[in-house]
Structure 1
Amino acid sequence: MAIQFRKILELAPDHSQRSIAASTGHSRRKIKEVIERAKQIELTLPIDPALTDAQLGRILFPELLPETTGREIPNFEYMHEELGKKNVTLSLLYYEYQTSCRDSGKIPYSYRSYCRMYTTFAQKYKATMRIRRKPGELMEVDWAGSTLTVIDADTGEKLTAYLYLAVLPSSQYGYCEAFLSMTMPDWIRGHVHAYEYFGGVTEILVSDNLKTGVSSHTKFDPVLNPVYRDMAEHYGTVVMPARVRRPKDKPKVEGTVKALSTWVIAALRNQRFFTLDELNQAVWSKLRDFNQRPFTKTYKACRNREEGFNTEEKFALHQLPATPFEMAAWKIATVQPDYHILVDRMFYSVPFQYIGSQVDVRLTSTLIEVFFKDSRIASHARLYGRREQFSTNQEHMPEAHKLYVSHTPESSRNWALSVGEHVNTVVDYLLNHMPERQALHKILSLQKLGKKYGASQLEEACAEVEKVAQVPTVRIIERVLINRKKTSSTTQIEKQSTEDYGFTRGAEYFGRITNDQSRND
């Protein structure tokens, strides 16, 4: 039986050797020997709580230490510090230890002895839990078994409030929030708020096998609820549901459920709350006290959960995404001939090329996203209010439709000013003396004439029409342009007929004698 050195020395000042022997099960001779040796080396109380009985024995009786084996003793303090880092394992440290021994010409211990010696050393730190729970690795979530109460201020009805819990096992830092149901929206909202409270995301999310999280549980892999899977993808984490009826798969949250049932639920038993927000303010106040409550175990390196989180785990969390996750619903819609889809009695446009196709629609409280074969083809801000509102993106329209939509009085005036003063006068007359729709139609015809005959010709034609017509119309302007073109064509033909082209045969070619030649003769 191992000698209880600590207990013997702590009982010695106030108890006889006989009573110490009865309490520890050791002989009075051994007890006397331990007490005398402590006096010789001047070992006094209190004894360092970090020292084990084995270490005390080596201090009191160093001559009883076994002879050295000639093997290199590992640096256990270094091992313990390194194991707290991400992805560091005992096998990696042993490989480095072996390499170091080989380089220095020393003999290493076997891997089995290496692990056994470290386990013995790390008992004071409870290091086995630390190895399995790396900082920033896990977040365990669950609903508390006990409930809270909110009183309806109007009817006096007592409403049940359920406590959502999230725990980081490495530091035991927790978060909780009360909801009026345990449905999917509240379940997702609890996760989002927990990540915001922690200020980061863990690598793995361990949840219970609730229907809100797991649709079904097959023999090999659980089938996650689609919304829960989308949330995990948004935050870049992996969901690993606990096994059915296996609470040890998430022991920290199970333990925290019991602790928070006392420090939050039971502590609020005598208070009355008339709104959920009022209840949550009280819950978060008790949560803050819970996270700052000092640890009772002496082996803890930090004073409380909050200090442990800030010093040992916060740095290991992954960064939060730019925007929090919004719960979404999925629907199927068919693109109508006017390149819009109907969703909740509102119309949203998609590219006209998808007319007649079936598309998947993802709906959040603020956004509508349209997918065709897993590719997003459109997105819109979600519409609320009166029925049959339209959200139309001009980029989704055919070219002809874009031209029609972009044709406004302002755009018409800008175009007229870019062409010339007389065209601007005609456009102003049309807009001021006709209904807007009719005037825009006439101006569109005028723009087509400008493209056909040229901007300068159109400006000259409008100037000519202003001189001869009191009411300038597009038909008159078109007739002037046609006549000007015909006149220009006729003039050009006559000009060409008077010009000398090619070789002209003169009188010499036909054997005629010119007057000058005859006079010379």
Structure 2
Amino acid sequence: MRRVREMLRYRAEQGLGYKAISLRVGAVPSTVRETLKRAAAAGLTWPLGDDVSDAALEAALYREAGNKTGHRRCAEPDWPRLHREMQRKHVTLQILWDEYIAAHPDGYRYSRFCDLYRGWVMKLPVTMRQNHAPGDKLFVDYAGDKLPVVVDRLTGEVRAAHIFVAVLGASSLSYAEASWTETLPDWIGANVRAVEAFGGAPALFVPDNAKVAVIKACLYDPQVNRSYAEMAAHYQSAVLPTRPRRPRDKAKVEAAVLIVERWLFGRLRHRTFYSLAELNAVIAGLIADFNDRRVLRRVGMTRRQLFEELDRPALKPLPAESYVYAEWRRRRAGLDYHVEVERHYYSVPYRFAREPIEARITARTIELFHQGERVAAHMRGSGNGRHTTTPEHMPSSHKRFADWTVERITRESAAIGVCTALLCEKILVDRPHPEQGFRACLGIVRLARSFGRDRVEAACSRALDIGARTYGSVRSILDQGLDQVPATSAVNGLPIDHPNIRGPRYYH
């Protein structure tokens, strides 16, 4: 409107013609003529009043500009509804216009329909432009579509791979890989490999509110999955989920997902892979080509060049050891002060029996925590229902029995005598489980303290002869003094008849 005011002033004060005014204001004579004609029609005279703003001046000159002569009025489309439909996947303006013209055959033609829609969109609330500091945020997400290109060699089954995408905020350097699922192990593993591919860690990981990352979505205080938060802390970073139902908060990765899908899916649509590793090798090559070759129009540089200039110097150095995936599970120690983790039992100090315990599970270790304090650590065992027990965790009354093993019983009984060793061996073999015979053998060996080794050896010999394979039988023989009486003798050629002698019928 500044030039319009100049035209009016030159015309009123100096009486210049159209050509002279055009030279002074930098407009063609026809424009000057049309503008002065509109001003005269609107009744505008120089000088303009102080209350005539640029908006008021424009409205006075061009209030009829939007009404074309002879333009017919058509049925007005429901622009808000059409705009919502445009947010749906695979919906285009051509499809919406087809539906509109089917309902209103005399409606706007396609070009006018598109012009009116774009004009309506321009009046929507503006979006905030996000400025990302170098090395500050890493946006992570899974692509909505899957890649069904992996074939099982044995069955011929086609499996669909999920595509993980990560993009740095400042440089838009992208990373992508395929995984079978979107579960927590695959999610954290993909985040770790993305950080290692970038060669540094960001200050913040920015996911959406997916269950794998956020336990409870909340605008003010979201609860991040403990394993995911621990992974971020390993790289001296933190997790900052976006607001619930606010995809624009992570517009960077949403755009990256769309671009990566177009870059990968179209190029891989005719290819077949027989393993996930083979697919990821090809994806890595395509993403490297995408980062190195595609020039961003507004900056005139590739993503790789921007990364080297902006993000790489600002990323945090990686720790000496890569993050080891761990899961946290809530458990309760049993009465026997053992905690069950995947069908294996691990001990904690006996004072924590019946107490709630948190288990940190990795591929090799099991760490047990009570109220944030680590109380036990074990090498991970197989899920065979067995126990892993640390002697220091046991009460003193249990340690006396815990040290007894088959090897020790065999060694202690052999030190007393051959018959004692043979009797203990038979006791262990007769039981369904050797440990069920430990106490009986332990009692027989300890009888040597009270009766002496020779008497115990004789008692075990007599017990073997009569088939008495219990601790009570051996103790009874010693109490009755039968160990000092021969088990059998001949009187006039006849065997001795005695209640303790069972005879040959017993063994039939």
Q: TM-score range by the shorter chain?
A: 0.5 to 0.7
Alignment of 1:337-348 (within 5 A): 338-348=336-346
CA contact (8 A) 1:138 1:168 kept: yes
1:145 maps to 2:144: yes
TM-score by length of 1: 0.52
CA contact (8 A) 1:431 1:439 kept: no
Q: Which moved more, 1:231-240 or 1:273-282?
A: 231-240
CA contact (8 A) 1:165 1:176 kept: yes
The equivalent residue for 2:291 is: 291
Task: Tell me which amino acid in the other structure corresponds to 1:281.
Answer: A
Task: Tell me which amino acid in the other structure corresponds to 1:348.
Answer: Y
Counterpart Cα distance in 2 of 1:432 and 1:186 = 60
The equivalent residue for 1:332 is: 331
TM-score by length of 2: 0.53
- In the alignment, structure 1 segments of 5+ residues that lack a partner are 3-24, 29-127, 415-425, 450-468, 475-521
CA drift of 1:355 comes to 2.7
Counterpart Cα distance in 1 of 2:223 and 2:277 = 34
Alignment of 1:191-230 (within 5 A): 191-230=191-230
1:391 maps to 2:395: no
* Change beyond 3 A, Cα 1:345–1:294: closer
1:357 maps to 2:355: yes
CA contact (8 A) 1:359 1:372 kept: yes
CA contact (8 A) 1:408 1:440 kept: no
Percent identity between matched residues is: 33
CA contact (8 A) 2:134 2:310 kept: yes
Q: Give secondary structure in 1 for the equivalent of 2:264.
A: helix
Alignment of 1:91-110 (within 5 A): none
CA drift of 1:432 comes to 6.9
Task: Tell me which amino acid in the other structure corresponds to 1:430.
Answer: I
Alignment of 1:97-496 (within 5 A): 132-149=131-148, 150-297=150-297, 299-300=299-300, 303-321=301-319, 322-336=321-335, 338-385=336-383, 387-402=384-399, 404-406=401-403, 429-430=415-416, 434-435=420-421
* Change beyond 3 A, Cα 1:306–1:295: same
Task: Tell me which amino acid in the other structure corresponds to 2:385.
Answer: E
CA drift of 1:177 comes to 0.8
Task: Tell me which amino acid in the other structure corresponds to 2:222.
Answer: P
Q: Give secondary structure in 2 for the equivalent of 1:236.
A: coil
CA drift of 1:398 comes to 2.5
Q: Give secondary structure in 1 for the equivalent of 2:279.
A: helix
* Change beyond 3 A, Cα 1:286–1:431: farther
CA contact (8 A) 2:326 2:360 kept: no
Counterpart Cα distance in 1 of 2:177 and 2:455 = 74
Counterpart Cα distance in 2 of 1:256 and 1:139 = 12
* Change beyond 3 A, Cα 1:443–1:282: same
The equivalent residue for 2:59 is: none
Counterpart Cα distance in 2 of 1:363 and 1:304 = 42
Alignment of 1:491-502 (within 5 A): none
* Change beyond 3 A, Cα 1:410–1:138: same
**Could you report, residue by residue, the CA deviation over 1:156-203 in whole angstroms, capped at 9, with x for unpaired residues?**
333222211011112222111112233333222221221222233211
Counterpart Cα distance in 2 of 1:194 and 1:227 = 17
CA contact (8 A) 1:335 1:359 kept: no
* Change beyond 3 A, Cα 1:180–1:341: closer
Counterpart Cα distance in 1 of 2:197 and 2:443 = 60
Counterpart Cα distance in 1 of 2:181 and 2:337 = 40
Counterpart Cα distance in 2 of 1:179 and 1:217 = 25
CA drift of 1:238 comes to 2.0
CA drift of 1:360 comes to 3.0
Counterpart Cα distance in 1 of 2:174 and 2:215 = 27
- In the alignment, structure 2 segments of 5+ residues that lack a partner are 3-24, 29-127, 425-437, 458-508
Q: Give secondary structure in 1 for the equivalent of 2:144.
A: strand
Counterpart Cα distance in 2 of 1:470 and 1:394 = 30
CA drift of 1:404 comes to 5.0
CA contact (8 A) 1:136 1:168 kept: yes
Counterpart Cα distance in 2 of 1:297 and 1:153 = 44
Counterpart Cα distance in 1 of 2:454 and 2:441 = 14
* Change beyond 3 A, Cα 1:395–1:226: same
Counterpart Cα distance in 2 of 1:433 and 1:341 = 41
Counterpart Cα distance in 2 of 1:470 and 1:225 = 64
Task: Tell me which amino acid in the other structure corresponds to 1:388.
Answer: G
Counterpart Cα distance in 2 of 1:190 and 1:403 = 49
Task: Tell me which amino acid in the other structure corresponds to 1:397.
Answer: M
**Could you report, residue by residue, the CA deviation over 1:65-98 in whole angstroms, capped at 9, with x for unpaired residues?**
xxxxxxxxxxxxxxxxxxxxxxxxxxxxxxxxxx
* Change beyond 3 A, Cα 1:345–1:251: closer
CA drift of 1:279 comes to 1.4
Counterpart Cα distance in 1 of 2:249 and 2:389 = 51
Counterpart Cα distance in 1 of 2:226 and 2:406 = 50
**Could you report, residue by residue, the CA deviation over 1:99-123 in whole angstroms, capped at 9, with x for unpaired residues?**
xxxxxxxxxxxxxxxxxxxxxxxxx
Task: Tell me which amino acid in the other structure corresponds to 1:206.
Answer: V
The equivalent residue for 1:104 is: none
Counterpart Cα distance in 1 of 2:145 and 2:441 = 73
Task: Tell me which amino acid in the other structure corresponds to 1:332.
Answer: R
**Could you report, residue by residue, the CA deviation over 1:4-39 in whole angstroms, capped at 9, with x for unpaired residues?**
xxxxxxxxxxxxxxxxxxxxx9679xxxxxxxxxxx
Counterpart Cα distance in 2 of 1:310 and 1:328 = 35
Counterpart Cα distance in 2 of 1:405 and 1:398 = 10
Q: Give secondary structure in 2 for the equivalent of 1:313.
A: helix
CA contact (8 A) 2:324 2:362 kept: no
* Change beyond 3 A, Cα 1:243–1:470: closer
Counterpart Cα distance in 2 of 1:155 and 1:429 = 62
Counterpart Cα distance in 2 of 1:304 and 1:433 = 87
Counterpart Cα distance in 2 of 1:410 and 1:346 = 24
CA contact (8 A) 2:331 2:340 kept: no
CA drift of 1:285 comes to 1.4
Counterpart Cα distance in 2 of 1:363 and 1:141 = 25
Counterpart Cα distance in 2 of 1:364 and 1:242 = 29
Task: Tell me which amino acid in the other structure corresponds to 2:377.
Answer: S
* Change beyond 3 A, Cα 1:431–1:250: farther
Task: Tell me which amino acid in the other structure corresponds to 2:175.
Answer: Y
The equivalent residue for 1:460 is: none
Counterpart Cα distance in 1 of 2:345 and 2:228 = 28
CA contact (8 A) 1:369 1:376 kept: yes
Counterpart Cα distance in 1 of 2:243 and 2:413 = 77
